[in-house]
């Protein structure tokens, strides 16, 4: 008999695959833009250094990702509102619109998948996912801001 952690590993692998497939069908934002925009929306303007600290990614990766977002008009570079030297990325109206549209599509998809679930089951699943993600963040030392 397999351990429950083996089953969780398998199911999270499949979840990653399903998410990857769903983002290719009608999605406008790639996964990195969706994640970066979500973080910038939660925290406000962020520099490459702050994004690097938040995501554990090197500056060259973030420079590529933010350059693509700049070209798409999703973010703009602004002087640091706090007077620091580094310029920061701020989400644009187009970035807000794209992020909202993407999130709405994702939520609609989840509602389709979970249409047969009781509201209590959906709430319990959300609680377990939050706990799972929070425990990962605590081990990694990079907590994600939550509303």
Q: Is the pLDDT of residue 88 over 90?
A: yes
pLDDT of residue 80: 87
Give the DSSP per-residue string, the chain.
Answer: ---HHHHHHHHHHHHHHHHHHHHTSS--S-HHHHHHHHHHHHH-SB-HHHHHHHHT--HHHHHHHHHHHHHTTSEEEE--TT--SS-EEEE-HHHHHHHHHHHHHHHHHHHHHTTTS-HHHHHHHHHHHHHHHHHHHHHHT-PPP--
The residue with greater pLDDT, 1 or 35, is: 35
CATH number at 98 reads: 1.10.10.10
Is 140 a member of any domain?
no
Residue 39: what pLDDT?
Answer: 97
Q: Is residue 62 part of a domain?
A: yes
Give the total number of structural domains in the chain: 1
Pick the more confident residue, 94 or 82: 94
The pLDDT assigned to 141 comes to: 92
Q: What band does 29 get if pLDDT is binned at 50, 70 and 90?
A: confident
What average pLDDT does range 116-129 have in this prediction? 96
Residue 23 clears pLDDT 70, i.e. is over it = no
Give the domain extent around 87.
28-114
Please report whether residue 95 resides in a domain. Answer: yes
Residue pLDDT, tens place only, 31-77: 899 999 999 999 999 999 999 999 999 999 999 999 999 999 999 99
Mean pLDDT of 4-27: 77
In a domain, 4, yes or no: no
């Amino acid at each position: 008999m397999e351990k429950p952690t083996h089953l969780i590993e398998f199911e999270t692998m499949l979840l990653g695959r399903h998410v990857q497939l769903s983002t290719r069908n009608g999605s406008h934002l790639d996964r990195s833009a969706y994640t970066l925009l979500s973080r910038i929306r939660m925290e406000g303007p962020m520099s490459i250094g702050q994004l690097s600290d938040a995501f554990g990614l090197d500056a060259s990766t973030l420079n590529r990702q933010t350059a693509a977002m700049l070209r798409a008009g999703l973010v703009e570079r602004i002087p640091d509102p706090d007077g620091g030297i580094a310029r920061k990325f701020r989400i644009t109206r187009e970035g807000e619109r794209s992020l909202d549209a993407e999130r709405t599509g994702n939520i609609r998809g989840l509602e389709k998948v979970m249409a047969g679930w009781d509201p209590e089951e959906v709430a319990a699943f959300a609680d377990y996912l939050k706990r799972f993600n929070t425990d990962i963040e605590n081990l990694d030392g990079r907590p994600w801001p939550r509303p």
